[in-house]
């Protein structure tokens, strides 16, 4: 019961600046909350599949193959918007995330804080976000 | 008139998985709005300076030197929180961004949409965010 959008890309993959291995990093963000979920990589085929099928497909550097996110777990990422940056060497995807993004079961892969006195997210803005989550 | 926090890192840089060049990608996000501002890279010295000085310092791959973000423009990024991901090969920084993050004058480097029928951010949640921006 999920509406899948399929797209065309305004810019072909060949215009992106890729690594020697032909890969470009992709930041994946929850389209509603803005939470950064993960960073992964795409090659040209992964990019084209993502755009035409409307679900995030990456290139797995460890397994050296295409990786349709959610294929085994069911935790698909449906594409809502896709951006490149000013020098075309990074992508940003806004997605509807089904279930957790992280294989550990966390919503986001970035659950490990590094600092000992971090900013606590208790300001009114975050409270408004929490309120919206409930209503 | 900005309070600068200085930190200690719970995890030393040597525990991160870095590229052959000794670099790790860093996603930088506005700590209040959640907007993704840019992606850049750090080496060990850039990471340690960022943590101890409380301002984002990257390693410039093109200029091959440390790069205190804002040193020439004044558009500093003050560290609010820092995370690593589940496999410790990416960092996420939440920052207070002074001025635009992008050298083009855009707030974020990710201002180029790639799709022809993207999701429009007109839902109630975004409207609440805009309202908060005004009040």
Taking only the tens place, the pLDDT of each residue in B14-43 is 999 999 999 999 999 999 999 999 999 999
With vertex at residue B26, the alpha carbon angle to CA A94 and CA A51, rounded to the nearest 5 degrees, is 30
Greatest Cα pair distance in chain A: 47
- Range of weakest confidence among A108-117, A126-135, B3-12, B17-26: A126-135
Residue pair B76/B98 in contact (Cβ under 8 Å)? The answer is yes
Q: What's the average model confidence in pLDDT over A31-55?
A: 97
**Interface membership of B9 toward A (CB under 8 Å):** yes
- Range of weakest confidence among A78-92, B5-19, B36-50, B79-93: B5-19
Chosen for mutation from A85, A100, A135 (greatest number of chain B CBs closer than 10 Å) is A85
Q: What is the pLDDT of residue B118?
A: 62
Q: What's the average model confidence in pLDDT over B54-69?
A: 97
pLDDT tens digit sequence for B101-122: 999 999 999 999 999 766 665 5
Contact A112 B5 (CB under 8 A): no
- Range of weakest confidence among A84-93, A113-122, B80-89: A113-122
- pLDDT higher than threshold 90 for residue A132: no
Tell me how far apart the alpha carbons of residues A45 and B97 are, in angstroms, rounded to a whole number: 35
Q: What is the pLDDT of residue B91?
A: 98
Contact B82 A111 (CB under 8 A): no
Q: What is the pLDDT of residue B122?
A: 58
With a pLDDT cut of 90, the percent of chain A lying above it is 79
Q: What is the pLDDT of residue A99?
A: 97
Query: What are the CA-CA distances from residue A17 to residues A44, A64, B50 (Å)?
Result: 11, 20, 27
With a pLDDT cut of 90, the percent of chain B lying above it is 79
CB burial readout B44-55, b (16+ within 10 A) else e: bebbebbbebbb
Tell me how far apart the alpha carbons of residues B50 and B122 are, in angstroms, rounded to a whole number: 36
Name A71's Cβ contacts closer than 8 Å, sequence gap at least 6: none
Query: What are the CA-CA distances from residue A70 to residues A98, B41, B80, B128, B131 (Å)?
Result: 8, 28, 32, 31, 35
Q: What is the pLDDT of residue B133?
A: 74
Residues B1, B34, A85, A91, CA torsion sign: positive
Contacts of B41 in chain A (CB under 8 A): none
Chosen for mutation from B118, B120, B127, B135 (greatest number of chain A CBs closer than 10 Å) is B118
Q: Cβ–Cβ contacts within 10 Å for residue A85, how many? A: 24
Q: What is the pLDDT of residue A134?
A: 73
Contact B111 A83 (CB under 8 A): yes
Nearest-Cα residue of chain B relative to residue A62: B87
**Interface membership of B40 toward A (CB under 8 Å):** no
Nearest-Cα residue of chain B relative to residue A52: B115
DSSP string of A6-27? ---BSS-GGGS---TTS-EEEE
Tell me how far apart the alpha carbons of residues B65 and B53 are, in angstroms, rounded to a whole number: 18
Q: What is the pLDDT of residue A1?
A: 60
Q: Cβ–Cβ contacts within 10 Å for residue A57, how many? A: 24
What is this model's ipTM? 0.86
Q: What is the pLDDT of residue B116?
A: 77
Query: Please, what is the average pLDDT of chain A?
Result: 91
Chosen for mutation from A119, A120, A121 (greatest number of chain B CBs closer than 10 Å) is A119
Query: Please, what is the average pLDDT of chain B?
Result: 91
Tell me how far apart the alpha carbons of residues A122 and A116 are, in angstroms, rounded to a whole number: 17
Q: What's the average model confidence in pLDDT over B123-129?
A: 66
**pTM for this predicted structure:** 0.87
């Amino acid at each position: 019961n999920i509406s899948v959008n399929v797209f065309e890309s305004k810019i072909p993959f060949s215009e992106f600046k890729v690594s020697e291995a032909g890969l470009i990093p992709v930041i994946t963000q929850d389209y509603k909350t803005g939470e950064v979920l993960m960073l992964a990589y795409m090659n040209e085929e992964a990019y084209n599949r993502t755009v035409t099928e409307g679900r995030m497909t990456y290139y797995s550097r460890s397994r050296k193959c295409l990786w349709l996110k959610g294929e085994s777990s069911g935790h698909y990422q449906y594409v809502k918007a896709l951006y490149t940056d000013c020098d075309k060497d990074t992508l940003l995807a806004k997605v509807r995330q089904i279930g957790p993004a992280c294989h550990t079961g966390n919503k986001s892969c970035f659950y490990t804080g590094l600092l000992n006195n971090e900013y606590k997210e208790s300001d009114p803005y975050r409270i408004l976000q929490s309120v919206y989550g409930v209503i």
